[in-house]
Chain A
């Protein structure tokens, strides 16, 4: 069964460093998403991406965040200058359509900023 994959599973970085989180969405999906989940809290939407551009983004997704689909398979989230409060699980998701909301999630990357 096709699945969303994410690498790395755990990333430790120092405050102020740049990190890139990588995702490989399901191959025939057209919509891609990043979500964040701070430990023990609810899942929060960050950004959606379609046709090589951002469709929607939340207030959390400020100028320090960017997304890219550098080739036909990868979808990346870059955090330019990490802060302690960026420590969280970051989930990538993909879907075939936007309106059916059947989004498939990857296993997540745990980001720890020290």
Chain B
């Protein structure tokens, strides 16, 4: 079946650093979504992308919909402690079911 591959699996970062993560697939998708999940809570939608090549920002977050429609990237600039959590990419299949990546866990170095 269709799968989304997220990398890296986890990241240790210093406060103030920029962060990049990506999500790839062998399948083409028409929508890419990025969610963040804090411990013990439900995922929260960060950015939704609907058009190939689209670059969308939400504060310090910027996401891009890859031109091939097989990938998407999320960047976080000047990370702060509250950025820790798990970031998931998701995309709907032809039956409108959301397929999810395995997540990228962001950890701030002490």
Which residues in A have some Cβ–Cβ distance to B below 8 Å?
4, 35, 41-45, 48, 55-56, 58, 91, 93, 98-108
Contact = CB atoms under 8 A, between A and B. Distances in A.
Contact of A107 (B31, B33, B42, B99): B42
Contacts of B101: 42
B67 interface: no
A101 to B, nearest CB: 6
A105 B42 contact: yes
B88 A48 contact: no
A107 B41 contact: yes
A101 B33 contact: yes
B53 interface: no
Q: Residue among A44, A55, A101, A105 with the most chain B CB within 10 A?
A: A101
Contacts, number: 51
Contacts of B92: 101
Given A45-B98, A56-B96, A107-B42, 20 more contacts: A41-B102, A42-B101, A42-B103, A45-B99, A45-B100, A48-B96, A48-B97, A91-B42, A93-B42, A99-B96, A101-B98, A102-B45, A103-B45, A105-B42, A105-B43, A105-B44, A106-B42, A107-B40, A108-B40, A108-B41
B95 interface: yes
Contacts of A35: 98
Contacts of B31: 101
Contact of A44 (B33, B48, B100): B100
Contacts of B95: 56
Contacts of B88: 42-43
Interface in B39-98: 40-45, 48, 88, 90, 92, 95-98
Contacts of A44: 100
7 nearest A-B pairs in the assembled complex, by CB-CB distance: A105-B42, A43-B100, A45-B97, A42-B100, A42-B102, A91-B42, A105-B43
